[in-house]
Every structure is written in C-alpha cells, then in structure tokens.
Amino acid sequence: MKLSTKGRYGLMAMYNLKENEGKGPIALKDIAKEENLSESYLEQLFSLLKKAGLVKSIRGAGGGYVLSRAPKDIAIGEIINALEGDISLSCCDLGKNINCGKLKDCATRDILSKLQGQIEDVMESMTLADM
C-alpha cells in the first residue's frame, strides 16, 4: 500500500500550517515554496481539506489558510481520508460486498480485516500534533 501524492503532500502542507500556528494565515504560495510543492496542486488539496473542515481560508490582504482546530484535535486519519478517501486493503471491502461469491471461503479475509483495523487504529490515534 502506498499513499498517493495527495496524501503525502497534504500531510506536508498540514504540518506546515501546524508549525506556523499562531502566526496568522499562511498563503499557499508560501507553503508551496517552503515545501517545494506546486501551488496549483496545493489549491486542489486545500479545497478537499477545507471541504472536510480541517482548514479555514481567510480572504484579503494577508489572507491564506489556518487550521480549523488545534493540531491535537486533528487525527492523521482525517487528513488522509479527506485527501485519499477511505483506505482499504481489499477490493472486496473485507466482506462488506455482499455480491462476493467467496465471502465464506475467503482465505485472506481474516488477516486483511485485522490489518485494516490496525491501520485505522494508528491513523486515528496519531494527530497532527504528533508529527
């Protein structure tokens, strides 16, 4: 399993906001320059982050983005899910797909279910403050 650039760059950008917390809104161009990322790509990511309620935008001169909550209240899983969608180890959603003909005899279902639970637990237990 590998995170796409959405997830990786989004985490980097959110870390940047965390590090600059209390200094006022941070412009995307400043984040892009500091993290060596594309500003236009960040615009797409921040649209998703804003829709998920993780950041707020401030308009006008000196505007930019700020975290919507304290870093300790933003789980890494929230960021990843906002950018990547739900992370799933199996194309069958670990048995949630009722059309799967191998549901009862699936050799991988138990281990994938266990791994899925562990990944979700870690992503929800770690916060932006932990980075």
CATH of residue 27's domain is 1.10.10.10
DSSP string, 14-45: HHHHHHTTTS--B-HHHHHHHHT--HHHHHHH
- Going 60 to 62 to 67 to 69, the CA torsion angle's sign is negative
Residue 3: the pLDDT is 82
DSSP 112: H
pLDDT digits (tens, 9 = 90+) for 24-37: 999 999 999 999 99
Give the pLDDT mean for 17-26: 95
Number of domains in the chain: 1
Greater confidence, 77 or 99? Answer: 77
| Res. 100 pLDDT band, cuts 50 70 90 | low
Is residue 101 scored above 70 in pLDDT? no
pTM: 0.84
pLDDT digits (tens, 9 = 90+) for 62-93: 899 999 999 999 999 999 999 998 877 766 65
| Res. 40 pLDDT band, cuts 50 70 90 | very high
Note down the domain range covering 33. Answer: 5-130
